[in-house]
Structure 1
Amino acid sequence: MIDHTGVTVSDYNKSKAFYSATLAAIGYELLLEIPAAVAGTDVAGFGEAPKPDFWIAQATTEKPAHKQSIHFAFRAASRAQVDAFYQAGLNAGGADNGAPGPRPHYHQNYYGAFVKDPDGHNIEAVCHDPQ
């Protein structure tokens, strides 16, 4: 079981705004920020209260922004949340990487949507429930 994950980003404020807006559509919120004075770089944790499980951190010389695209999939409670996630991601400056819809090649009830974040990472929301 995964406890948490994260990614370094090239523009902390731009990515924080993107993830705050996009993940709100599936019930995530910005739960914790740790300033560079404490953590060595600005860090933001998103999730469902009380615990963040997805983190972003400003890239540094020692920990540069990920050059290869990374894929994160967030579970949504409904297909409507997947649709809202996709639209919120586009509105927050993300790029389309797959409109909401069924993906039966994964499994019968797979319904997902994909957007690229400001660093080009493939961010997905997926609902596994039937309509």
Structure 2
Amino acid sequence: MLHHVSFGVSNIERSAGFYDAALAPLGYVRVWEDLRPGEADQAVGYGVAGGGDKLALKLRPKGQRPPGPGFHLAFAAPNRQSIEQFHAAALVHGGRDNGAPGPRPDYGPHYFAAFVIDPDGHHIEAVFNAPG
């Protein structure tokens, strides 16, 4: 249904470093970039290697705010170990813990996830929802 989602970020270099590290364990990479230090309208896109972007970060140094309560973006993970790596990398690169890696039985019998808040306040999740 969705083609991609964009987040406004206040510091494109910091955010790109955060998402490079946090998304790598999930198998997502930077698929394009338009970085021109000191200029407006810089952006970076993430997705699977060789594909298009599913997440775009757009520099919005003034007036950037994450969506309100209730909004978060969940990334599909290939396994439980990748979720642990996602969470650890996110915290090392400026993210805040919003739910350690672990089972979420209230969401389903196989739901395993971790939640973090990125440096700009966007709530993100990595989830694996299959047996084992």
Q: Structure 1 regions of 5+ residues with no counterpart?
A: none
Q: Which residue of 1 aligns with 2:21?
A: 21
Q: How far did 1:68 drift?
A: 3.8
Cα deviation code 1:34-69 (max 9, x no counterpart): 2469x95000001102211100000055xx312445
Aligned length: 128
Note if contact 2:9-2:61 (Cα within 8 Å) is conserved in structure 1: no
Of Structure 1 and Structure 2, the greater strand share is in 1
Given the two structures, how large is their TM-score scaled by the length of structure 1?
0.89
User: Where does residue 94 of structure 1 map in the other structure?
Assistant: 95
Structure 1 counterpart of 2:72: 71
Shift in alpha-carbon separation, 1:79–1:46, aligned structure 2, 3 A = same
- State the 4+ residue runs in structure 1 displaced beyond 6 angstroms: none
C-alpha displacement of 1:10 = 1.1
Aligned-pair identity in percent equals 39
What is the match of residue 3 of structure 1?
Answer: 3
**TM-score, length of structure 2 as denominator length:** 0.89
Deviation string, structure 1 residues 108-128 (Cα, Å, up to 9, x no partner): 111000111001111110000
CA deviation after TM superposition for structure 1 residue 91, in Å: 1.2
